[in-house]
Structure 1
Amino acid sequence: MELVTFWFILITVLWIGYLVLEGFDFGVGMLLPILGRNDTDRRVMINTIAPIWDGNEVWLIVAGGATFAAFPEWYATLFSGFYLPLLLILVGLIIRGVAFEYRGTIEGDRWRNLWDTAIVVGSTLPALLWGVAFANIVRGVPIDADKQFTGTLFTLLNPYGLLGGLTTLLLFAFHGALFLGLRTEGEIRARAIALAAKLSVPAIGVAVVFALWTQLAYGKAWTWGVVVVAAVALLTAAYGAFREREALGFGSTVLATASAVVLLFGCLFPDVMPSSTNELFSLTIHNASSTHYTLVVMTWAACFLTPVVILYQSWTYWVFWHRIGATKIPPGHGLPWSTPEAEASYR
């Protein structure tokens, strides 16, 4: 296998890790005003992701760094052409991160409601815009002979791109509802699973349309298998939601999200950024890559560091994988492990 192909596959894996893990984070944030009927409910929801949300974002940093090092031309064209959407995603992630930290610092409904709104906005923007961005990458954007993006923001606001954004928005909301069903107990668990069942219908409908459009317009023979896997996974997730088998449902949305990323990157290969101006101007894994020596050095580093990151994050999930509910939330507005008594309940 060529090193450029290896790095294309590795970047695909990194995006799978990010969108699967951050996907349910986004879902929890978006559903905060829907499932959180009072402050305690919202604190339960936030604390299901509080120990892990920042670790999930590491996958984005690594994916971006790997793209910059392995395919600098791709990175440069992508970030110049998609500057405003990526900036909005970054702003959303910053707002959400600040909200998690500041929400419990002051007693008061107005203060908490302000940061709850920030969490919703900071979750919804990336959930929508990542789909728009990836759909446009697969569709192709105006790139000239100098590998420069020649379009505008409105170039990205096409029907296929907007459908991609709606797909990720609904899929992450569905994913997040099942995650809450898996991580909570009591009334909020019941409401989360019931909402997941309702979300399954529009999520599956929109995802099927997007997947078929993608496959028919940009797919390859082997990616039909990925479409089938994604469809079966979504149907299984819906079954899990309706039958209140949240573990089955959540595992299925993990598979569906991973399949969606494989479908998009599979449709791209061997391009990394197709040009809608002229296919000769498209960026490929060969004309957008770093030198062979750079890829060799990076490969040795990746072979050592990637397993370490996976093992560490797996351990983190193992430590904090406990159901929580209103009875485990201490007085005040801090995190549930902010008191010795609360910490003891997690051991």
Structure 2
Amino acid sequence: MFGALVIYVLTGGADFGGGIVALLARGPRREAIRELVFHALAPIWEANHVWLIVAIVLLFVAFPKVFAAVTTALHIPLTLMLIGIVLRGAAFVFAQYDEETSRARYWWQRVFMWSSLLTPVTFGVVVGAVASGRIRVEPQTGLVQVGFVEGWWALFPFLVGGFAATLFAYLASVYLLLETEDVGIREWLRKLALGLGVALGVGAWVTLWWAQHETLTVYDRLVHSPLAQPFHLVTGVAALLALLALWRRRYTLARISAATQAVAIMTGWGLAQYPALLVPDMTIANSAAPDTVLRPLLIALILGSVVLIPSFGYLYWVFKQHTLAVRQRAPQ
């Protein structure tokens, strides 16, 4: 489940980040940058949502009490997130197939870009609320002890939301460097990626600093957890390596380093929260479904992975041949 969520951040998250990059595009190459984003996303954006679906289904089947608590306490941000996903998908299709001179196409592009910002922010709000300890649950019954707003209406979840949006945009800007051979667009993306990389580091420190004032549980787990600390080190090294690679225009290395940084961030958070699924009341042990459910679920997951993972590899191989060609010609 956690692995599916990490893959979704690397793939689907970067897709949403592409919309943010399009929203940030300025200057004489603005339309060309936006067309690049649409072209890069077109073959694979819908398929990447599979990983989010896998994570949600696993949570629903394997940990039904946690699923019920999260969807109850975080009903509002989850609804906004789903609205953003639907609007973004619909707007992307309408903008792609409408006439280039159509006024409707102009507005569909705006819907696509703004919904691409809304979804990562609400995704981060959900993650921040889950980790914050603000959602209290009676473990035996699974009854939520807070209302629809108290669990997420605080500064910390919104700081995590801003951090998530910055991370997604950062990944997208780095990925897009190998999607084009236009020197001007590539230089604009490089500068954007450098700025977002610095903003990501600042955002991480601000979010961590505020956690000790609002959600001490999160702060203690992130700072003192022996499981999470090695991944904080990996995150820092990968971040510096990515920025250095961007500065020296080593775009393949930058892509690998940025993806490693994202994986380390997610893994550090997951290990810091372990074994809690919903801090502090719901853990893996006290919220898991019976073994009669978990065993067939595990079998289905293994069999499904045998089909799903090679299929995704083939999908990317078929539709990203241009990217591979650009990567071979780009500085290594």
Global fold match (TM > 0.5): yes
- Distance in 2, matches of 1:39 and 1:195, equals 16
Q: Which moved more, 1:11-20 or 1:131-140?
A: 131-140
Letter of the structure 1 residue corresponding to residue 312 of structure 2: Q
Letter of the structure 2 residue corresponding to residue 20 of structure 1: L
Q: Which moved more, 1:50-59 or 1:36-45?
A: 36-45
Q: Tell me the residue number matched to 1:320.
A: 319
Structure-1-length-normalised TM-score: 0.83
- Is the contact made by 1:22 and 1:57 (CA closer than 8 Å) also made in structure 2? yes
1:34 lines up with 2:37 in the alignment: no
Q: Which moved more, 1:215-224 or 1:43-52?
A: 215-224
- Is the contact made by 2:131 and 2:218 (CA closer than 8 Å) also made in structure 1? no
Q: Deviations over 1:110-131 (max 9, x none)?
A: 2222111111122111211211
Give runs of aligned pairs for residues 1-347 of structure 1, distance below 5 A: 11-35=1-25, 37-107=29-99, 108-145=101-138, 146-149=141-144, 150-186=146-182, 187-210=184-207, 213=211, 216-219=219-222, 220-275=225-280, 282-323=281-322
- Distance in 1, matches of 2:310 and 2:36, equals 27
- Is the contact made by 2:75 and 2:148 (CA closer than 8 Å) also made in structure 1? no
Runs (5+) with no aligned partner, structure 1: 1-10, 276-281, 325-347
- Is the contact made by 1:215 and 1:224 (CA closer than 8 Å) also made in structure 2? no
Letter of the structure 2 residue corresponding to residue 82 of structure 1: L
Q: Tell me the residue number matched to 2:329.
A: none
Q: Tell me the residue number matched to 2:326.
A: none
Q: Which moved more, 1:78-87 or 1:313-322?
A: 313-322
Runs (5+) with no aligned partner, structure 2: 212-216, 324-332
SS of residue in 2 equivalent to 1:272: strand
Deviation at 1:141, TM superposition (A): 2.4
Structure-2-length-normalised TM-score: 0.87
Letter of the structure 2 residue corresponding to residue 185 of structure 1: E
Q: Deviations over 1:15-65 (max 9, x none)?
A: 101111112111111111333745444222211011011111100011100
- Is the contact made by 2:228 and 2:269 (CA closer than 8 Å) also made in structure 1? no
Query: How many residues are aligned here?
Result: 308
- Is the contact made by 1:81 and 1:151 (CA closer than 8 Å) also made in structure 2? yes
- Is the contact made by 2:73 and 2:135 (CA closer than 8 Å) also made in structure 1? no
Deviation at 1:308, TM superposition (A): 2.0
SS of residue in 2 equivalent to 1:309: helix
Q: Which moved more, 1:144-153 or 1:191-200?
A: 144-153
Deviation at 1:318, TM superposition (A): 1.5
% identity of equivalent residues? 27
- Distance in 1, matches of 2:30 and 2:265, equals 35
Deviation at 1:210, TM superposition (A): 3.5
- Let me know the Cα RMSD of the aligned residues: 1.9
Would the alpha carbon gap of residues 34 and 143 (structure 1) be closer, same or farther in structure 2, given more than 3 Å must change?
closer
